[in-house]
Amino acid sequence: MDTKFSVATHILILISEADKDINSRDIAESVGTNASYIRKICALLKNANIIDSHQGNNGYKLKISADKLTLLKIYQAVSEENRPHLFDIHLNPNDKCLVGANIKPVLNDMFTDLEDEFAKELEKRTLLDCINEIRKRL
């Protein structure tokens, strides 16, 4: 798993809470990365109809209110897979071994169940939940 999901969530909180237009350079400074990476993540969010930007306008806007934007939608926007993928299984177990012959289907079933539960939890939580957690810490 990479960091695109957490970076996207960070970006969206900044956009949601900004009192003025916020650009990729400003966002990059907060995230601790470069502006080109921020623009790449923003392009994914724009393709998913989560944010909008306009030619000549120096900022981004949310297209979905923070209370309606689920963490699952954010995850799906920046992930190459439509459903959460948390675990990988090693590729070459020995089929002549009792464990090696059975490990893939056993772990695959367990991992799928866990990933489904994770997706359900992400669907229950919104960007506003993240914003409210930050506010509690201030």
pLDDT attached to residue 55: 58
pTM of the model: 0.88
Mean pLDDT of the chain: 94
Q: Taking a C-beta distance cutoff of 8 angstroms, is the pair 69, 12 a contact?
A: yes
Structure tokens given for 9: 């969530």
* Residues present in the chain in total: 138
pLDDT of residue 98: 96
Asked if 96 contacts 106 with a C-beta cutoff of 8 angstroms, the reply is no
Over pLDDT 90: what percentage of the chain?
84
Whether 126 shows a pLDDT value over 60: the answer reads yes
